[in-house]
Amino acid sequence: MNLASKHVLVVDDNAANAELLLDLLDDHGFTNVHGISDPRQVLAHCVKHKPDLLLLDIRMPFLDGYAIIDQLQQHFLHQMPPTIVLTAQIDDETRHRVLNMGVRDFITKPFLHEEVLQRIRNTLSLEHRYQVRDQQAETLERMVAKRTQQLNHQSRTDPITQLPNRRGLMQTLREASIGDSGTGLLFIALDHLDEAVRLHGYSIADQLVRHISQTLYSQLDSGSVLGLWGGSELLAITQCTDQPTLERLAAQLLGSFEQDQALGDLLIPLNARIGISWTTEFFNIERLVHMAALALPQKNSPQRIQSYNATLEAQQRRRLNLQQAIRGATQRGEMSLVFQPKISLTTQEIIGAEALLRWHHPELGHISPGDFIPLAEASGDILDIGDWVLEETMRHIVAWRRMGMLNDRFHVAVNVAARQLTRKDFAQKLLSRLATYGIPERFFALEVTESGLLSDMQNARLQLAQLAKMNVAVAIDDFGTGHSSLAYIQTLPFSTLKIDRAFVMDIDKSPVDRQLANMITQLAHAVGCDVVAEGIETASQAAYLHSIGCEAAQGYYYARPLPADDFVAWCNNRASTPPPLTAMELV
Ligand code: C2E
Ligand code: MG
Ligand code: MG
């Protein structure tokens, strides 16, 4: 460290004193020393050439040393040049006063050369060390700030697409929420991404997301932000708050999915759904995103774009309420079964019944199975409910057999949800339950919808095959409404096909429906299945179905689903009164 080149300023109104110090420093190799005898020039000098050390007399005319320190402090604040006071007074008061003002040291007059030099060197070298330390601290601070900025950016950026991630999006939304321009959101869910992962691996799937996000981003205006909300969900934040414009933008974005995505030699199909929300005022971020997510059309819905509206929310709330209310409903005795007879179209005899679930909630009232079954499937509650339905149905079968009501051709069918068929021990448990109740298998049947079979085909096939082997009839329900494929009824051990009500409803008016019903019946027969038609409401519907060879029918025309006692009464009544005109006679 070279102290000799440091800038030392000596201020003393007594020129002889100043000269003495300047000579002393000069003699000891200091090359940058300066003297001022008029205290009024000190500030100007310091502003121009800030000294590394100020040797300052206290007693001076015009401005004393205290006043100069004041001036310098006001000007330099914390960066005030280090100061040694030159004084003849060393009384306590002076000492306290100057120390309080931040002065580093004192030199007392008359000067002792060695001591003066040592004090000057001490202060300069201490100051030098402070400076070095300050510089290091500053460099460190800058480095930390830069790294923090990098880390911040990283934590807000998705590493694959380099787009903002959820944190980044939240920040953009936070900023937008306090601005006064409105905000519109497009919540974009990518479908089939998991299939791409399965087929091509993660690296291709990553490229795919990168590719599609670039394609989407290029269609947004410069004020919009696109980011990744989840693994297969993107969020576009725009300043547009006009519903039709947002919907047009959404439709334009969906256009990017019309063709398969080209990645090198690969062509990968990808699809998307978009939920839209917007607000023109200050907003709650989570709520706005939730609104867009709520509006997102369901995966299996034909609709691909939907804008938020209050009804959606009410529906959602109702769904949540129901989902909560379902839990424990069987134990609380809120569930019951009703039975709808199935009638042979040839003999008009009762050949069986379908057990249908009813739920009466003390506050929500009667809730249709069409509403609560899908919810119970989604939450898993259907497993317990399904067990309860099986038990309850078996209890009734035992009671009716005791009453001698069931002949050998009579069976009771129970609807089974997809979720139940994913159980590996479904068939085996069902069979042992029948054994416990002493019910021969032929009295029992199952109805399964096609969509239920799709989810875990392998296991469903296994379970159904076990049941078929033991003579439990299995029907495919609602045929024609799902992903209808006759291949199903060939590869799975079905004994019965139930034509959905949708095909029966308009049979009288629609030649196409008549033809369809006819074809389905012929094909079902070709693979050895009986056909039951659902939702028969008129005699002429029954007549037509009989004419095309459909074996059995079920519907309001014969009976609505009835509580167990009413069902028994209905069966007894029908047995004691002659059957109505046969369908053939009605034609
Ligand atoms: P599904 O198995 O196809 O049942 C037939 C539905 O059509 C029943 O509705 C029945 O009341 C109704 N129906 C019968 N005849 C007629 C008619 O002539 N006209 C009209 N318009 N409708 C008729 P429900 O009881 O509301 O059941 C709806 C669906 O809920 C059932 O369709 C079934 O998929 C499901 N479900 C009902 N009970 C259960 C159950 O215990 N477990 C499972 N997993 N699902 C059930
Ligand atoms: Mg059914
Ligand atoms: Mg059905």
CATH of the domain at 262: 3.30.70.270
Q: Do residues 176 and 258 both lie within one domain?
A: yes
Domain assignment of residue 41, yes or no: yes
Placement of tokens 């369901």 in the chain: 298
What value does the mean pLDDT of the chain take?
Answer: 90
| Predicted pLDDT of residue 74 | 93
* Range(s) of the domain holding residue 69: 3-133
Q: Are 451 and 513 in contact (CB under 8 A)?
A: no
Q: Is 555 in the pocket of ligand 1 (CB under 6 A)?
A: yes
447 C-alpha vs ligand 1 centroid, how far in Å? 11
- 465-469 mean pLDDT: 91
Question: How far is Cα 239 from Cα 185, in angstroms, rounded to an integer?
Answer: 9
Q: Which residue minimizes the CA distance to atom 20 of ligand 1? A: 535
Q: What 3-state class would DSSP assign to 481?
A: coil
- 415-437 mean pLDDT: 93
Q: Do residues 343 and 303 both lie within one domain?
A: no
Domain assignment of residue 127, yes or no: yes
Q: Do residues 69 and 209 both lie within one domain?
A: no
- 275-287 mean pLDDT: 89
pLDDT bracket for residue 585 (50, 70, 90) = very low
Q: Is 89 in the pocket of ligand 1 (CB under 6 A)?
A: no
Of 77, 108, 133, the residue that ends a domain is 133
Placement of tokens 């028969």 in the chain: 536
Q: Do residues 247 and 349 both lie within one domain?
A: no
Q: Which of 450, 476, 497, 534 best tests ligand 1's pocket when mutated (most atoms within 8 Å of CB)?
A: 534
Question: How far is Cα 400 from Cα 564, in angstroms, rounded to an integer?
Answer: 10
Domain assignment of residue 150, yes or no: no
| Predicted pLDDT of residue 455 | 63
Q: Do residues 443 and 518 both lie within one domain?
A: yes
Query: What would the pLDDT profile of 476-527 be if each residue is shown by its tens digit?
Result: 888 877 655 566 666 778 899 999 898 899 999 999 889 989 988 998 898 8
- Residue 579, pLDDT > 60, answer no
**Nearest bound ligand to the CA of residue 535:** 1
- 173-199 mean pLDDT: 90
Query: What would the pLDDT profile of 69-81 be if each residue is shown by its tens digit?
Result: 999 999 998 888 9
Q: Do residues 194 and 304 both lie within one domain?
A: yes
CATH number at residue 545: 3.20.20.450
Q: Which residue minimizes the CA distance to atom 21 of ligand 1? A: 535
Q: Which residue minimizes the CA distance to atom 25 of ligand 1? A: 356
Domain assignment of residue 333, yes or no: no
DSSP one-letter code for 80: P
233 C-alpha vs ligand 1 centroid, how far in Å? 36
One DSSP character per residue, 163-223 reads SB-HHHHHHHHHHHHHSSS-EEEEEEEEESHHHHHHHH-HHHHHHHHHHHHHHHHTTS-TT
Domain assignment of residue 286, yes or no: yes
Q: Which of 415, 430, 478 best tests ligand 1's pocket when mutated (most atoms within 8 Å of CB)?
A: 415
What pTM does this model have? Answer: 0.63
Domain assignment of residue 84, yes or no: yes
Domain count, the chain: 3
CATH number at residue 34: 3.40.50.2300
pLDDT bracket for residue 140 (50, 70, 90) = confident
Domain assignment of residue 567, yes or no: yes
Q: Do residues 563 and 517 both lie within one domain?
A: yes
Q: Do residues 491 and 451 both lie within one domain?
A: yes
Q: Do residues 106 and 179 both lie within one domain?
A: no
Q: Do residues 499 and 399 both lie within one domain?
A: yes
- 52-61 mean pLDDT: 93
- 431-453 mean pLDDT: 89
185: CB partners within 8 A, 6+ apart: 235, 236, 237, 238, 276, 277, 278, 288, 289, 291, 292
Q: Do residues 502 and 549 both lie within one domain?
A: yes
DSSP one-letter code for 239: S
Q: Do residues 419 and 526 both lie within one domain?
A: yes
Per residue, the 3-state secondary structure of 425-455, as one string, reads CHHHHHHHHHHHHCCCHHHEEEEEEHHHHHH
Domain assignment of residue 374, yes or no: no
Q: Is 169 in the pocket of ligand 1 (CB under 6 A)?
A: no
